């Protein structure tokens, strides 16, 4: 899968937050349901594999961590996190 697929998660999350604070209409509810389904699909795609790359994607694009916090969560140096980032972008 392309990295853009996973980067979409944060965009969907922001859009969902905006929609949930608007007046509830049937159209909004349908859009909220669609966004939640898309977000779950993205998360389930990551749950299939616990490789460094997938853990990196989860931290960086699902949880929205900074590169430093991502490195900390993966228990690697910042330089290693950047190497993983380059591998992820090549996926």
Determine whether 90 is exposed, middle or buried from the number of CB atoms within 10 Å of its CB (0-12, 13-18, 19+).
exposed
Give me the pLDDT at residue 91, please.
Answer: 65
For the cut 70, the answer to whether the pLDDT of residue 22 exceeds it is: yes
For the cut 80, the answer to whether the pLDDT of residue 71 exceeds it is: yes
The residues spanned by each domain of the chain are 3-89
* CA dihedral of residues 51, 42, 65, 33 (deg, nearest 10): -160
Give me the pLDDT at residue 41, please.
Answer: 86
Give me the pLDDT at residue 46, please.
Answer: 76
Q: Rounded to an integer, what is the distance from CA 41 to the centroid of its chain? A: 11
Name residue, tokens 């509810």.
29
Q: Model-level pTM? A: 0.70
């Amino acid at each position: 899968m392309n990295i853009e697929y996973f980067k979409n998660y944060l965009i969907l999350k922001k859009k969902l937050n905006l929609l949930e604070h608007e007046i509830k209409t049937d159209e909004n509810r349908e859009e909220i349901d669609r966004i939640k389904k898309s977000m779950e699909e993205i998360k389930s795609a990551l749950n299939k594999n616990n490789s460094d790359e997938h853990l990196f994607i989860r931290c960086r694009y699902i949880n929205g961590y900074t590169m430093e916090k991502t490195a900390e969560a993966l228990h690697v140096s910042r330089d290693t996190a950047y190497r993983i980032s380059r591998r992820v972008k090549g996926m």
